[in-house]
Structure 1
Amino acid sequence: MSLFGQDRPFLDALPREDRRALIASGTPRSYAPGEVVVRERDTSTFVLAILAGWSVVSVETERGARLILALRGRGEVIGDLAAVDQHPRSATVTALGALHGVVLPGERFRRFLSARPVATQLIMRQLSSRLRSADGERRSLASETVLQRLSARLVELVERAGRATPEGVVVDLPLPQHDLASAIGATREAVAKALRLLRAQGLVETGPRRLVVTDTGVLRLLAGGHGEAG
């Protein structure tokens, strides 16, 4: 399972000329923190290529709860599935902090792909990666504990959005506890209990919009089911 996309974002993997062409063909657009970029079941087909910032991809469950599927950041594109198959949006994407990018109408994005085989291959690889991640997430929900899933998410956040400091690795993403719960398919209460265990063992430090991981190695072990905090 993974909150993030492939190791190398779509824009970074494009040949330089293709990347320049894609950005030049879009319209600059900025989103405020918490602003919705696309909404689930909407029929728009535009694509946003992210140049700076982070966004949250989520769906609403039948019980009205929010489930976070992924985080998308600089170099990635969102909305590509609806642009390609022209069906309603499969998820809601919300700006996590200030978000900047360029917007391309769906038809323009499809023309870009049809003229550039490398870009098409990258999009297909991206869609395949997301499908595999969804399969892994279902397996995780069925077989892993809340502590395992939370530890795995924290390790992933450290590896993809961490900043080393003398006190530990600071995760510079403003994810509150209810978002962490939504990202692992658990209740906020269950995540709060797991975080208390991790804090008691000195593995993490938390505060308002603040997360510091002090021992990634032990978290990795917990994520793999090779130990229990406390």
Structure 2
Amino acid sequence: MSPTEIEALVPRVEILSVRRGARLVQRHDPGGAVYIVISGLLLVNQYARSGREVGYRRLQPSSYFGEIAAIDRLPRSANVTALTESIVGRLPEPLVAELMAGAPNFTRAVLEDLAAMVRALSSRVFELNAVSAPCRVQMELVRLATEAGIEENQAVLAKAPTHAEIAVLAGAQREAVTRELNRLEARRLIAKQGRTLTILNVDGLVEEIERLGGDEPEL
């Protein structure tokens, strides 16, 4: 879309402030609005009947969500919860339908993102069934490093996810995450200080993944 077209959409976008812990989208709820993350961090997840939380992906600024229900007009497929204080832009359902029908570049971008999501989720299904929990934790660290930006083979996660949050994303127990992070720190592959987690050797972490029988994760 051209800058002029984007500028014309601004008055039609509702800006929402979301407090930490608030659930912005509820699984099974109706609705076809699409949300764009302006600031903050959100988690796409759902819960099993046992109460176990399953995390799909974290949403950074410039990410968006809600497009699946907007396309198939079925209820929401997952929850979206704010991990931090966040600001999102809400594109109402009629606006999304208008863009899908009349803005080919918008539709093409959504399709490309959906294809990338399918690839990433396929990779995660494989990991859960064929890769050990320690290896999945390492893969999640590589994903987080890529999101944060890798420079000179290192990455700094200024507000790193908690052990419990990593466990949700990696499909592991929190205790297993703690053990693996302590082991990686002892090997000087990572360093922890408060909420800051530094990946000291991204290539070394990838080598560790390969040693444990995993593939470099889809990002």
> Aligning the two structures, in what range does the TM-score lie when normalised by the shorter sequence?
0.7 to 0.9
Q: Tell me the equivalent position of 1:7.
A: none
Measure the CA separation in 2 of the matches of 1:89 and 1:18.
Answer: 28
Q: Tell me the equivalent position of 1:129.
A: 116
- Secondary structure at 1:224 match in 2: helix
Gaps of 5+ in 2: 214-219
1:178 Cα deviation from its structure 2 partner: 0.7
1:198 Cα deviation from its structure 2 partner: 0.6
1:210 Cα deviation from its structure 2 partner: 2.8
Q: Tell me the equivalent position of 1:4.
A: none
CA contact 1:56–1:96 (8 Å) conserved in 2 = yes
Identity value in percent? 24
Q: 1:212 aligns with which of 195, 198, 202?
A: 198
Aligned 1:80-99 pairs, distance under 5 A: 80-99=67-86
Gaps of 5+ in 1: 1-13
| Residues 220/112 of structure 1: CA separation in 2 closer, same or farther (3 Å cut) | same
Measure the CA separation in 2 of the matches of 1:134 and 1:218.
Answer: 25
Q: 1:75 aligns with which of 62, 66, 73?
A: 62
CA contact 1:96–1:174 (8 Å) conserved in 2 = no
1:163 Cα deviation from its structure 2 partner: 7.7
CA contact 2:167–2:177 (8 Å) conserved in 1 = yes
Measure the CA separation in 1 of the matches of 2:99 and 2:111.
Answer: 14
Q: Tell me the equivalent position of 1:49.
A: 36
TM-align CA RMSD: 2.2
CA contact 1:57–1:72 (8 Å) conserved in 2 = yes
Which residue identity is paired with 1:94?
T
* Bigger shift: residues 218-227 or 23-32: 218-227
Aligned 1:87-126 pairs, distance under 5 A: 87-126=74-113
| 2:140 matches 1:175 | no
1:45 Cα deviation from its structure 2 partner: 2.4
Q: Tell me the equivalent position of 2:142.
A: 155
| Residues 97/42 of structure 1: CA separation in 2 closer, same or farther (3 Å cut) | same
Q: 1:203 aligns with which of 189, 192, 209?
A: 189
Which residue identity is paired with 1:139?
F
1:42 Cα deviation from its structure 2 partner: 1.3
Q: How many residues align?
A: 213
CA contact 2:12–2:91 (8 Å) conserved in 1 = yes
Q: 1:60 aligns with which of 47, 54, 57?
A: 47
Which residue identity is paired with 1:58?
N
1:153 Cα deviation from its structure 2 partner: 1.1
| Residues 208/58 of structure 1: CA separation in 2 closer, same or farther (3 Å cut) | farther
Measure the CA separation in 1 of the matches of 2:207 and 2:151.
Answer: 20
TM-score, normalised on structure 1? 0.84
Measure the CA separation in 1 of the matches of 2:112 and 2:149.
Answer: 26
1:186 Cα deviation from its structure 2 partner: 0.8
1:119 Cα deviation from its structure 2 partner: 0.5
1:61 Cα deviation from its structure 2 partner: 2.3
Measure the CA separation in 1 of the matches of 2:4 and 2:57.
Answer: 28
Which residue identity is paired with 1:216?
V
- Secondary structure at 2:58 match in 1: strand
- Secondary structure at 1:43 match in 2: coil
